[in-house]
Structure 1
Amino acid sequence: MKKAVVLLSGGLDSTTTLYLAKSQGYEVYALSFNYGQRHKKEIECARNAAKSAGAANFILVNTNMDAWGGSALTDKNINVPESNTNYEKIPVTYVPARNMIFLSYAASYAEAIGAQDIFIGVSEVDYSGYVDCRHEFIDSMEKAINLGTVCAVEDGKKIKIHAPFINMAKSEEIKLGMKLHVDYGKTWTCYKGGELPCGVCDSCKLRLKAFKEAGYVDPLKYEGENK
């Protein structure tokens, strides 16, 4: 069975990606990160998703990206803003070079276990404008990985980065996830770490919009009447 490393945050996109990779016949190895983010609610969701999907392994990488901050998700002195569809620049929820760092770890893990496939759940259709969710970035990272790993340079075993939802609307992703029996009630999307999702941050708004467009009711309960 082919092995695949799946970047798994515990959110809607990465959990759907995990189930998709599994459905395609891969033996999946889930890789999650405790990187100094604002809350840890996603991590437990990731752990549960890996178990439910029958992942061969779940690894939690600890790294302290909060040491330099630069994002509302890693610096608690920066407030998470409410959703705004008229951003003139990248929102403060962007974590500097996060996907570059995560994919580098994934490449190392893949080479170590003999996997030639990495899955990541990024999209440039329904997202907040993050530069590390674009085709150009994914293609460039794949090229860099294959220039900097022995398996590719010496053994000819190149690593492929799969971004199955890069051109897919989140509503279509949810429809697919439902067919794959993803339990979205056990995912966490909100940028904040409250008892319930806030319903007003970018991530919550994109999720709620997607469920509505997909024709499903989001199984999560939200603060107030934002749902």
Structure 2
Amino acid sequence: MSEKVIVIYSGGMDSFTVLNKALEDGKTPLALSFDYGQRHKKELDYAARVCAELNIPHKIVDISAINSLVGGSALTDDIDVPEGHYEEPSMKTTVVPNRNMILLSMAVGYAVSENATKVYYGAHSGDHAIYPDCRPEFVRKMNDVCAIANYEAVEIVTPYLEVSKTAILTDGLRMGLDYGKTWTCYNGREKACGQCGACQERLEAFRDNHQTDPLDYE
């Protein structure tokens, strides 16, 4: 039987690629998604459809109660989602305090209970400017903690930590993935806005790969 791993799966293009990367690597993934009160909750619907199609066990866990503790983000509070690229300081309003440490901690607990050896998540270099919990030093420290936090060591795996979203898309296209099955926009409306940092970075990745994004935009 192949090695069992947990994949933190938001339904976005990065985690979609990571999920398929785990499959390509011969792993048996268990997908874990979180409802943390994000305004773009429709990403969870995309995640559920993909997991059903691939016959991958999938849990969606409601942790929205944490917003009484970790507010102040444009993704969860009544704050306008900023427009512009991730390199711009305004995008700091999309930071959810301590989000990845919280999600990784729960995913590691799930891994231990399922006898899984690794937790995969989709941090990449494009996130480094704005999100401290996507930076290499954070991943290294989390790995140190997860090696000793339980009787069983669990490894945090970030296949794309040092590369851009453009490179992630390149690898996904190599695997023949359909990115119409993913949702990226921080505004959870019917169509993607095309203006927020998440949309702009996604569209840039498609342009760099000389491809057309299959999503509809406003």
Taking structure 1 as the reference length, the TM-score comes to 0.90
Q: Distance in 1 between matches of 2:129 and 2:47?
A: 22
1:62–1:126: structure 2 CA closer, same or farther, 3 Å change rule? closer
Partner of 1:194: 189
1:86–1:95: structure 2 CA closer, same or farther, 3 Å change rule? same
Partner of 1:92: 93
Unaligned residue ranges in structure 2 (runs of 5+):
none
With 212-221 and 117-126 compared, the bigger mean Cα shift is at 117-126
1:5–1:165: structure 2 CA closer, same or farther, 3 Å change rule? same
- Residues 4-33 of structure 1 deviation map (CA, whole Å, 9 limit, x = unaligned): 100000000000000000110000000000
Count residues in correspondence. 215
| Offset, 1:120 | 0.4
Superposition CA RMSD, Å: 1.6
Partner of 1:140: 141
Q: Secondary structure at the match of 2:126?
A: coil
Q: Distance in 2 between matches of 1:202 and 1:127?
A: 13
* Contact 1:11/1:187 (8 A) holds in 2: yes
Percent of residue pairs identical: 40
Taking structure 2 as the reference length, the TM-score comes to 0.93
| Offset, 1:54 | 3.3
- Residues 84-103 of structure 1 deviation map (CA, whole Å, 9 limit, x = unaligned): 46534761001111110110
Partner of 1:60: 60
Q: Distance in 2 between matches of 1:58 and 1:79?
A: 31
| Offset, 1:50 | 1.7
Is 1:108 paired with 2:73?
no
Q: Distance in 1 between matches of 2:141 and 2:127?
A: 21
Q: Distance in 2 between matches of 1:204 and 1:95?
A: 18
Unaligned residue ranges in structure 1 (runs of 5+):
152-157
* Contact 1:19/1:53 (8 A) holds in 2: no
Partner of 2:75: 73
Partner of 1:154: none
* Contact 2:169/2:206 (8 A) holds in 1: yes
Amino acid at match of 2:155: K
The equivalences for 1:155-174 within 5 A come to 158-174=153-169
1:132–1:213: structure 2 CA closer, same or farther, 3 Å change rule? same
